[in-house]
Structure 1
Amino acid sequence: MVQKTLILLLLALPSLVAGQTFQASVIGGFNFSQIDGDDLFGFHKPGVNAGIRVVAVLGDRWRVGPEILYSQQGAKRQDNSLNISPYDAFRLNTLEVPLMAYYKDWRLVAEAGFSYQRLFSYEVDDSFGQDITPVTELQDNLVAFKAGVTYLLNPNWGINMQWSKHLLDIDVEDQINTSFKGRSVSLRLVYTFGQGEALPKRTKEE
């Protein structure tokens, strides 16, 4: 279902780029994530972060719009770790829809916003490596705050780094005697279709 949705949206991108009011981009990269509260310290769980972005252009500097992403998150015990935790790994597969605002200055684009995440599958292993998914109920619907920055290599290509933190607990209330909230650092390439991102014109003061 997720793959079909992304394919349909990719096919629709050329028509969105035809006008000057909107910009469409494809995004691909990786998450490095952890879960606060599980005692598995460090961003040791890599995962895919990929999808599309469509923004409304609000002048030379401002844009606003959603992304639609396939995003893998979770947590993992580091090899030879001394962490005392009843868990070995969390693997979360989400369909993520961030709504972001962007401010562009020279070659830098700052971004911030909120993200809805639909958890459509997950796996949880205990400290012995046993699958305890059937007895570990997690929330299907999550909300996160996101902030980041993109460096524009040229009008079409950019390197994006983004930080994300869940605002709601991942675990279902009374199922686990703690509070779990995920955090991720994402490193992504962004390709913007058409003419891409023209740099703002310099003023006399600059």
Structure 2
Amino acid sequence: MRTLLFCLCCLWVVTAPAQTFRASVLAGANLSQIDGDDLLGFHRPGVNAGLRVVALLGDRWRFGPEILYSQQGAKRNRNSINVSPYDAFRLSTVEIPLMVYYKDWRITAEAGASYQRLIDYTITDFRGEDITADLPLRDNLFALNLGVTLYLTEQLGFNFRWSRHVADIQQPDEPRLRGRGLTLRAVYTLGTGEPLPGRPTPDTPNPNAL
């Protein structure tokens, strides 16, 4: 399924007229946690990187998919005195968000949902022992996403995104666990980039003014 979706994205890029789509390279980091593990706080850093393709639906609206490699999970704060039975969750996923974007001035708001395929994970308990086999997680995960991008130039912007799983990430009959994440990343748009408002110009002097 991942291969099919990736091929569809590539086909879209190759066949669509240049004026109807834009492609971007994304690179940044996640800070994530898991609700229900009692570890508390966004202490798990991870990579978030990939590609985005959007269709231009007028001057302000965009719509399209991303394909990302995304590391998520949770981690005990070393200064914490919580009583969680876990020390860390490390999740590696291939993520495919499908997003709607609304652009105004240099700011673009975004909302959508994503499919995440879990490709690897490790769970350790409070003693540092690997308990991955004792807590099976789902291979297919789904999340809601909200975010905003500030463009500094036509090509370069910085994106902030919040995400949350819509269902438990573990198999049935296990403790209820749902991931949340904060993402900060650079967005580099290929080609001419995103049009930005021009620099303000002084008003033309009124010849009748004294």
TM-score between the two structures when normalised by the length of structure 2: 0.87
Residue 63 of structure 1, CA deviation: 0.1
Contact 1:60/1:200 (CA < 8 Å) preserved in 2? no
Whether the 8 Å CA contact 2:9–2:53 is kept in 1: the answer is no
Query: SS of the counterpart of 2:68?
Result: strand
Structure 2 match to 1:99: 98
- The aligned amino acid for 2:31 is F
Structure 2 residue aligned with 1:192, among 189, 192, 197?
189
Match of 2:137?
A: 138
**How many Å separate the matches in 1 of 2:102 and 2:128?**
45
What are the residue-to-residue correspondences of 1:42-121 with 2, within 5 Å? Answer: 42-121=41-120
Calculate percent identity across the aligned residue pairs. 59
CA distance in 1, matches of 2:12, 2:187: 14
Indicate the SS of the match to 1:20.
helix
Which runs of 5 or more structure 1 residues have no equivalent in the other structure? 202-206
Runs of at least 4 residues off by over 3 Å: 8-18
Q: How many residues align?
A: 197
Distance (whole Å) between structure 2 residues aligned to residue 11 and residue 167 of structure 1: 28
Mapped partners of 1:47, 1:17: distance in 2 = 33
* CA distances 1:127-160 after superposition (whole Å, capped 9, x unpaired): 1010011111001111100000000010000000
Q: Would you say the 8 A contact 2:13–2:53 is kept in 1?
A: no
CA deviation after TM superposition for structure 1 residue 80, in Å: 2.3
AA of the residue aligned to 1:184: G
The question of whether the paired residues in 2 share the 8 Å contact of 1:16 and 1:22 is answered with no
Which ranges of structure 2 fall in alignment gaps of 5 or more residues?
199-210
Alignment CA distance shift 1:34-1:22 (3 Å):
same
Name the SS of the counterpart of 2:18 in structure 1: coil
What TM-score, normalized by structure 1, do the two folds share?
0.89
By how many angstroms is 1:16 displaced? 6.3
How far residue 199 of structure 1 moved from its aligned partner, in angstroms, is 2.4
- CA distance, structure 2, for counterparts of residue 86 and residue 61 of structure 1: 48
1:204 corresponds in structure 2 to none
Amino acid at match of 1:194: G
Q: Secondary structure of the equivalent of 2:136?
A: coil
1:88-136: CA deviation from partner (whole Å, max 9, x where unpaired): 0000000000000000000000000000000011000001010011111
**Distance change >3 Å, CA 160–CA 19, structure 1 → 2:** same
Letter in structure 2 aligned against 1:151? L
Code of the aligned partner of 1:133: T
Cα RMSD for the two superposed structures: 2.3
Alignment of 1:150-161 (within 5 A): 150-161=149-160
Larger Rg: 2
Indicate the SS of the match to 1:41: coil
Deviates more, 1:76-85 or 1:185-194: 76-85
CA distance in 2 between partners of 1:101 and 1:27 (Å): 16
- Partner residue of 1:28? 27
Q: Shift of the alpha carbon at 1:15? A: 3.8
Change in CA separation of 1:172 and 1:90 when aligned onto 2, cut-off 3 Å: same
